[in-house]
């Protein structure tokens, strides 16, 4: 039985029972293998743009006797997925810019699925804005800390409406509506760390030779700090 990292386990928990999965950027194929072994999904597609990771995934799939249930495809994003072939698309471990590019490149595919599970590594504000503007409804959010790093993941679904409902607030775009509503303990720790970092940045900017660019940057950092302070809350441990 495949064993997953804390981050990967949190992603696996978001996949709806009985859905056909497409893992984009599958790396070694561990997540589809795990979900098929656990009978969460009946079958899956494991896709990657690079030949090396895909060969590794094929090897691992064969070692677990799942060749008939997990199909590998070399694909640039969603290029090789036919609309309607999968119910759940999972895109994890990539920068936010790449996540948005993959979703934009093949709307006929993303509009045909039941749910998207995303774990962008950067540009979370931009990703959340993109999802709202392009008609994706937020279904679920989670956050874990592993090896000193923070990982945010979300489940969304296409609604066919552009944009999707009321625009999220600045705080929700930065930190996640559902995480804030739940007072998620990992987000609480992340907010404290982010506040410390931004205060150090502000101190360095204030000590620098004043220029128009520095003045503008100070305004941005202060505005961001105010949002962080409004969102902060006390936590009792790091339950995920």
Task: List the one residue out of 121, 86, 104 whose CA is nearest residue 11.
Answer: 121
Q: Which range of residues forms the domain containing residue 217? A: 185-231
Kind of pairing between the strands at 88-94 and 21-24: parallel
Structural domain count of the chain: 2
Indicate if 212 and 121 belong to the same structural domain: no
Express each pLDDT in 164-198 by its tens digit.
888 999 999 999 999 999 999 999 999 999 999 99
114 is a domain residue: yes
Indicate if 114 and 221 belong to the same structural domain: no
Indicate if 190 and 156 belong to the same structural domain: no
**Is pLDDT at 97 greater than 60 in this prediction?**
yes
Q: How confident is the model at residue 236 (pLDDT cuts 50, 70, 90)?
A: low
**Alpha helical stretches, state H, 44-184:** 51-63, 96-105, 107-110, 124-133, 170-175, 177-182
Name the residue with tokens 């590998």. 72
Neighbours of 58 (CB within 10 A): 17
Computed from CA positions of residues 133, 95, 143, 198, in that sequence, does the dihedral angle turn out positive or negative?
Answer: negative
180 is a domain residue: no
Domain termination site, one of 138, 167, 196: 167
Q: DSSP label at 113?
A: -
Q: Name the pTM for this structure.
A: 0.92
Indicate if 53 and 141 belong to the same structural domain: yes
Indicate if 51 and 160 belong to the same structural domain: yes
- Mean pLDDT: which of 159-163, 177-181, 207-211 is highest? 177-181
CATH number (domain holding residue 51): 3.40.50.150
Tokens of 85: 């072939």
- Determine the average pLDDT of the residues in 27-49: 96
Indicate if 138 and 196 belong to the same structural domain: no
* Cis before 14? omega within 30: no
Predicted pLDDT of residue 235: 63
219 is a domain residue: yes
Indicate if 195 and 83 belong to the same structural domain: no
126 is a domain residue: yes
């Amino acid at each position: 039985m495949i064993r997953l990292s804390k981050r990967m386990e949190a992603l696996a928990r978001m996949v709806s029972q009985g859905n056909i999965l497409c893992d984009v950027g599958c790396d070694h194929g561990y997540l589809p293998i795990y979900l098929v072994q656990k009978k969460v999904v009946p079958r899956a597609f494991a896709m990657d743009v690079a030949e090396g990771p895909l060969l590794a995934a094929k090897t691992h799939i064969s070692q677990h006797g799942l060749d008939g249930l997990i199909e590998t495809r070399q694909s640039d994003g969603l290029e090789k997925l036919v609309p309607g072939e999968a119910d759940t698309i999972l895109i994890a471990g990539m920068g936010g810019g790449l996540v948005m590019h993959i979703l934009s490149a093949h709307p006929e595919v993303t509009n045909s699925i039941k749910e998207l599970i995303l774990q962008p590594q950067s540009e979370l504000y931009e990703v959340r804005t993109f999802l709202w503007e392009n008609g994706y409804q937020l279904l679920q959010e989670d956050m874990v800390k592993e090896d000193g790093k923070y990982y945010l993941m979300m489940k969304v679904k296409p609604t066919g409406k552009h944009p999707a409902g009321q625009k999220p607030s600045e705080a929700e775009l930065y930190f996640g509506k559902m995480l804030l509503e739940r007072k998620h303990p990992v987000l609480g720790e992340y907010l404290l760390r982010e506040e410390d970092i931004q205060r150090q940045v502000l101190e360095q900017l204030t000590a620098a030779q004043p220029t128009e660019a520095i003045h503008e940057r100070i305004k941005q950092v202060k505005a961001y700090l105010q949002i962080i302070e409004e969102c902060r809350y006390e936590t009792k441990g790091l339950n995920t």
